[in-house]
Chains A and B, each alone.
Chain A
């Protein structure tokens, strides 16, 4: 009798798993940073994707360990498609290069690329020491290590790009880490910081108080997200990184062992979600540019970025040495 019951249960479970159509329950997107404007960009895509799939896709903020905690948390869950990794470039590519994570971008199944955003150097609107980016560099040159700036957290993309710009210009400023860039902006406005490295979301909420001196990208479109501010290249500064390399971007990923049919369904629904006009417009309004790359473009796009980031990592090491020498 007992054996019969076990057999019946096994048959029932097997048949239900065959007939069950993915997704049967809500899906989680594990987002690697704290809540804020950038999380809202992921929420827009999650919401549209949820409508395509007929279930709720929630964005779960799991900050920690420069974004790698979110990856490890997601990888620790079953490869059943119910957990999506919000694959930001820092934990996906940069942290493994720094020896802080043991995966490569090849260890995941890609869905679609989500958004990209450039970074920019901004000062207080009324700070008359810096008429433009050249004035900031000249001031930093005359006062090595005296200016104080924050890229938010250290060893992440904004820090790397800012360090690269300073290395190229042969100037150095004291970096001050803040876990949330919002608080760094508050201290910039309060006068205790001299400049910050921001993303478009921060610019949009603070544009009355901030003045963008240089957009750290070589793409003309990036300037538009900062109210037409000049690109760093227009000051004859070679960023040494092109395209997506100096930008923040995220590619939604799933566990490599996820069944192919489940992966295909997720890829299809995300593709439809990011192709929606209203989704694109909402993202653009917030300063985030939809990338529109499908899963087939993943390796083609990510591989060169990984190669380019090496020079940024070297710039952070250069900044540390240079700061020590100014003390």
Chain B
């Protein structure tokens, strides 16, 4: 693999490629910050420009948008409790409380550095373990996807500890939402209310923006103090985030590996890797770290995972020609348009291009580390603005971003409806994140269960005959027993007073 990097070095280390990668990171960060717009939209917008550039600078720019966009969503999650992308919905668990405690710059800095280091770990795995992980991904078939999706759904109980029942109810609503649309097995319409606009279900991003951004705007208006000057920590460029990050190195490495793994399995739901990584970090943390109340480890776990996921998703895209997610599908299309077909051919016939893409990915993350640190005070300064100005701006940006998804006014109604649903849920003490997890994983779980049964010539036995599926289902079972046991135990009278606040 080092020979690939060597071959790609001359194409990557030049002013043209470096400038475009830097601009890509910057553009990605801005697009990620805006609610609704995510890395996918950024890549699609700049695709026409990329065709007129040499291949490596073009791919470098697009990959940089992918990286920056995935990291940028955390900034608005931390500062405003508005996740810029669904990827960042888990970051607000601890990022927002950190900012509320006056540590906005630390939280943004930590998110940026965790993202960059997570991305670099994902990149190193991409460079050195691509063939191995690609082969492993081939062993993931519908039974394994089903078992993984069950694992993801079970994390709902973990991330909503203290109100597991409410969490599961919210998750159930999410599972229901995932059923709306066209059934991919019979092409029948389900719960579409005879409207073609619901033929692929409500758009996930419109739901996320509504649930989090709009409900937050409603809450802030209700709270009042719209003209008060917020109290914000002194903002200046420091590298203190790196020092904080060093204290969480085990969490950082573990979360990066979780993110890379979920990214490397095409269609496994990379969006939820941040939730799973967060749930794992929370379970393994000491009680005094107080996850959910501004724990540094919470930001590290989610951000390292979701950016490592980008490196992971490039593994099947480049090695197998099978995109890991929607963003990498567009990246793959761009590579084809530039005249290179991903897959083994790319490594054999164009090692310079394959190596150049690897370097572009690593370089993008290095630039993110630098830019993220330098810009953290700039982003943090948003909180100096009075609510009377900030809230209309959030509303405007949310509306613009959601409309831009499909140029659809219907998406705006979906956003508004889920803003109200989110507000009501929060008033009633229901956590919002499980709804998103349920919505993302519901279709993965259902379609892979049905697909497995079609593939099986032995009914349900397909789930236990395949070793990886059997192992994951065993983990599911152990986790389920543990959750039920701890729920029963905490519901006894002696444990009733230990209710922990529900997560956002």
Contacts and interface: CB of A to CB of B under 8 A. Distances in A.
Nearest to B451: A176
A183 B322 contact: yes
Task: With a 10 A CB-CB cut-off, give which of A62, A175, A190 has the most chain B CB atoms.
Answer: A190
Contact of B454 (A39, A62, A174, A185): A174
Interface stretch (A4-12, A65-73, A229-237): A65-73
A28 B44 CA distance: 12
Interface in B333-352: 333-334, 336-337, 339, 341-345
Interface of A: 28, 34-37, 39-40, 43-44, 47, 50, 56, 58, 60, 62-66, 68-69, 72-73, 77, 100, 146, 148, 153-155, 174-180, 182-183, 185-187, 189-190, 192-193, 201, 204-209, 282, 285-286
Given A43-B47, A69-B199, A186-B320, A35 B182 contact: no
B223 interface: no
A144 to B, nearest CB: 12
Contacts of B51: 43, 47
Contact of A34 (B44, B137, B329, B337): B329
Contact of B455 (A39, A62, A148): A148
Contacts of A208: 343-345
B139 interface: yes
Q: How large is the interface on B (under 10, 10 to 19, 20 to 34, 35 or more residues)?
A: 35 or more
A69 B196 contact: yes
Nearest to B186: A154
Nearest to B185: A177
Interface string B385-400: 0000000000000000
Contacts, number: 128
B44 A190 contact: no
Interface of B: 44, 47-48, 51, 137-142, 181-182, 184-185, 187, 189, 196, 199-200, 266-267, 316, 320-323, 326, 329-330, 332-334, 336-337, 339, 341-345, 406-408, 447, 451, 454-455, 457
A39 B343 contact: no
Nearest to A186: B322
B455 A192 contact: yes
14 contacts: A36-B323, A36-B332, A60-B406, A64-B200, A65-B187, A69-B200, A73-B196, A77-B407, A155-B187, A180-B267, A182-B322, A183-B322, A189-B138, A192-B455
Given A65-B196, A206-B321, 14 more contacts: A36-B333, A37-B333, A65-B200, A66-B182, A68-B196, A68-B199, A73-B408, A177-B451, A182-B322, A186-B320, A192-B455, A205-B341, A208-B345, A209-B344
A211 B285 CA distance: 51
Contacts of A65: 182, 187, 189, 196, 199-200
A182 B137 contact: no
Contacts of B181: 64
A62 B406 contact: yes
A131 to B, nearest CB: 24
Q: Is the interface of A mostly helix, strand, loop or mixed?
A: mixed
Contacts of A206: 321, 343
Among A62, A174, A204, A205, residue most surrounded by chain B Cβ atoms (within 10 Å) = A205
Given A100-B187, A154-B187, A43 B322 contact: no
A266 B245 CA distance: 55
B187 A43 contact: no
Contacts of B341: 204-205
Contacts of A193: 455
A35 B47 CA distance: 12
Contacts of A69: 196, 199-200
B116 to A, nearest CB: 26
Contact of B182 (A44, A64, A190, A285): A64
Given A183-B266, A208-B345, A285-B339, A43 B333 contact: yes
A271 B339 CA distance: 23
Contact of B337 (A40, A56, A175, A177): A40
A32 to B, nearest CB: 11
A67 B234 CA distance: 53
Contacts of A100: 187
